A and B are shown apart, each in its own frame.
Chain A
């Protein structure tokens, strides 16, 4: 059984009360390969990962490790067998050093029972170096970048002798440059014969890094393919279960008048940025993580106070120094962090949707509930939000539906200028296409969009014009006709000298 495979899953079934989350799933992992798991949200990827990592038991089926059948009773158990998982949220203690975190719970001690710091730091540093990482094992975790913290997690897996590492959306919080470092590290892992199970929503990454991939749909195994024998469209159609023709809508945008202008915006991480947005335009802004694109969006919306700068709407200077004022001037904001900044997860869909338009819905002293229900129903219908009732808690919705609720909230506030920060982050392919089509439709209704994204294919697919930021400044301004990915990356990473960036 399982010859040539380090890990083999046969006919795994997992049932939750009333739900069959996994229905006869197969998976074979070779030694030293990067194996991607693909599937929409709810396809069963995360359940499968938890089963492999021992965090959840399975109902029936069998799991073989190096040909021998194994049953994990806990995550610790799985770790002992060399299976480690890196979660999206890191499990590290910020106040401790890299080395301490790597050896947490099993710090080396000398004969007197005192921690052997010298040995600890030395061993930790060696592990980091083996992965080609240059930061110090003595640095506190809180001083690390997100990418470095992630590398520390990976290094930690090595210290416990992991043979299989599961990575769940490892690039979600990383920018292009950092992703490159991650991929290099994954390359190092492969050389050492360590297998990586890789989960990502970003198809381009999967094709760049994986050797093979397995597609799941609705808890069922669809296919395992060599990367060379498949392509993007093939995988997506397997995931969705039908042909997906166009992810991005076709746009025929004709430049119109300027509706929004930001002049000389300065603030934390943003230096002297000026930009113009035209009516009905989708203006994309990108840059590496920390380049200031997200900060710029928050400065414009008044979520972070500006040090200096002016906002003009339809040629008139406006006061947008707080989200409340910005909303009043018709600027809406969809945050990149929907769970912390977009939705009150413990409140209902209805309350979330009307959260920005309470004034509009108030008659005399009280809220006009009839009007509210009507407005909410209209938004739910227009955005095709799939819910059973508007009293459902937003925390229980899927990522795509949550994002649509945030859109509904912003639209309900009658915003004409929409700032969308990473609007498709953590959203599956089907919902992504829907969100693009919503954005496209909004511009047809005369709304203008400022879209911040680090997902370049997406930004190129949907924008009419793209601005590139580096170190808080605009370094490139390209129209749809001249957009190309290499050029954008070169500017974003500083490979090209600063360009003239007027409008």
Chain B
């Protein structure tokens, strides 16, 4: 009887783990700094996590297949600079946004091609693409930033609707889209099946190559949108923008409890994972901690989260 309750409790902790971490960290944060819980600061945190959050949504798909995508930062960089370039020469916001998305999709498709059709391990394929695309960015920009001067484009990053910042709205919409695709469509089911056991998925009549390919395309597409949000918020496209963001996205997915070996996980905990990273950043800034020390704390949080995850899983395995 007691065992039954314990088992149920362990299962519940499993599901809401990332939410629990978030609550604990929020309590700590509000104790450490009075300004943390103010509305303007919370929106600020939200705004800061949008870029990593959007990419983490896409990364969830890739990691659910058992893969990894290291090239998202470079995809973001390239989409951002080319979109800003298009914007500078045409002044057409819609065209710039579509360009960013198209470049994201194209880069994701190339990743997916090498991985699903040629059988190159995801880590290696996307590592190559990461370096290659960053090179493209540097050649395109010649190393200098491209300023963004069109107001309608800037609105995407700086504006707000009914008091809610536009990037936050975009993140929520994309999260809902990703959640819908993953839980309500046959493609989502295929992703889970693929990540759970590729051969079973293939023998069950699922187009495994297309499924894997599409996961990378999806990730590229979201990286393209993230590029628009970032360049619009900063009013310029830097040749270094997006560098290292792949690690933030992967960390968010891991904090969300998605298994790196694929097959289990959701988008919502990933977004919460991204917020946890954002809040840590925010609180350390509010406390005037040396920015370099931020990385130490973030890394430690990821390690602790994974450690706790392992312990909880061992417990639930014991409870049957």
Q: Chain B nearest CB: distance from A452 CB in Å?
A: 15
Name which of B20-28, B77-85, B183-191 contacts chain A.
Answer: B183-191
CB atoms of A344 and B186 under 8 A apart: no
**Interchain Cβ contacts under 8 Å between A and B, 23 examples:** A17-B3, A17-B318, A18-B320, A303-B203, A327-B205, A340-B197, A341-B203, A342-B203, A343-B197, A343-B200, A344-B200, A344-B201, A345-B197, A347-B192, A347-B193, A347-B263, A355-B189, A355-B201, A362-B186, A365-B184, A366-B180, A367-B184, A367-B185
Q: Chain A nearest CB: distance from B52 CB in Å?
A: 27
CB atoms of A346 and B205 under 8 A apart: no
Our pick among A17, A18, A335, A355 for the contact of B206 (Cβ within 8 Å) is A355
> Is the C-beta of A251 less than 8 angstroms from some C-beta in chain B?
no
Given A18-B3, A344-B263, A347-B193, A356 contacting B204 (CB threshold 8 A): yes
Residues of A within 8 A of B193 (CB): 344, 347, 351, 355
CB atoms of B197 and A344 under 8 A apart: yes
A298 and chain B: residue at smallest CB distance: B203
> Is the C-beta of B207 less than 8 angstroms from some C-beta in chain A?
yes
Q: A351-B192, A355-B205 are in contact. List 9 more A-B contacts (CB 8 A).
A: A17-B3, A324-B207, A343-B200, A347-B263, A354-B189, A355-B189, A358-B186, A359-B186, A367-B186
Within 8 A of B (CB), among A278-334: 301, 303, 323-324, 326-328, 333
Binding site for A on B (CB under 8 A): 3-4, 180, 184-186, 189-190, 192-193, 196-197, 199-207, 263-264, 318-320
CB atoms of B186 and A341 under 8 A apart: no
Residues of A within 8 A of B200 (CB): 340-344, 355
The docked-state distance in angstroms from the alpha carbon of A409 to that of B204 is 8
Residues of A within 8 A of B201 (CB): 344, 355
> Is the C-beta of A37 less than 8 angstroms from some C-beta in chain B?
no
B188 and chain A: residue at smallest CB distance: A367
The docked-state distance in angstroms from the alpha carbon of A346 to that of B4 is 21
Q: Chain B nearest CB: distance from A337 CB in Å?
A: 9
> Is the C-beta of A12 less than 8 angstroms from some C-beta in chain B?
no
Chain B CB within 10 Å — which of A327, A335, A344, A345 has the most?
Answer: A344
Residues of B within 8 A of A365 (CB): 184-185
Residues of B within 8 A of A340 (CB): 197, 199-200
Residues of B within 8 A of A344 (CB): 192-193, 196-197, 200-201, 263
Residues of B within 8 A of A359 (CB): 186
CB atoms of B199 and A413 under 8 A apart: no
> Is the C-beta of A361 less than 8 angstroms from some C-beta in chain B?
yes
Residues of A within 8 A of B207 (CB): 324
Residues of B within 8 A of A367 (CB): 184-186, 189
> What are the 8 A-B residue pairs with the smallest beta carbon separation, nearest first?
A344-B196, A358-B186, A327-B205, A366-B184, A355-B204, A324-B205, A356-B204, A344-B197
Within 8 A of B (CB), among A403-423: 409, 413
Q: Chain B nearest CB: distance from A302 CB in Å?
A: 9
Within 8 A of B (CB), among A2-39: 17-18
The docked-state distance in angstroms from the alpha carbon of A343 to that of B320 is 20
A347 and chain B: residue at smallest CB distance: B196
The docked-state distance in angstroms from the alpha carbon of A335 to that of B201 is 13
CB atoms of A358 and B196 under 8 A apart: no
The docked-state distance in angstroms from the alpha carbon of A155 to that of B108 is 53
The docked-state distance in angstroms from the alpha carbon of A474 to that of B18 is 58
The docked-state distance in angstroms from the alpha carbon of A73 to that of B186 is 50
CB atoms of A346 and B196 under 8 A apart: yes
Within 8 A of B (CB), among A180-196: none
A338 and chain B: residue at smallest CB distance: B200
Q: Chain A nearest CB: distance from B309 CB in Å?
A: 15
Chain A CB within 10 Å — which of B186, B200, B204, B264 has the most?
Answer: B204
What mask results when residues 342 to 379 of chain A are scored 1 for a CB within 8 Å of chain B, else 0? 11111100010011101101100111010000000000
Our pick among A17, A323, A335, A369 for the contact of B205 (Cβ within 8 Å) is A323
The docked-state distance in angstroms from the alpha carbon of A343 to that of B193 is 9
The docked-state distance in angstroms from the alpha carbon of A335 to that of B202 is 12
CB atoms of A346 and B263 under 8 A apart: yes
CB atoms of A345 and B196 under 8 A apart: yes
Residues of B within 8 A of A345 (CB): 196-197
The docked-state distance in angstroms from the alpha carbon of A341 to that of B4 is 33
What mask results when residues 83 to 127 of chain A are scored 1 for a CB within 8 Å of chain B, else 0? 000000000000000000000000000000000000000000000
The docked-state distance in angstroms from the alpha carbon of A344 to that of B203 is 11
Chain A CB within 10 Å — which of B202, B205, B320 has the most?
Answer: B205
Given A344-B263, A346-B264, A366 contacting B196 (CB threshold 8 A): no
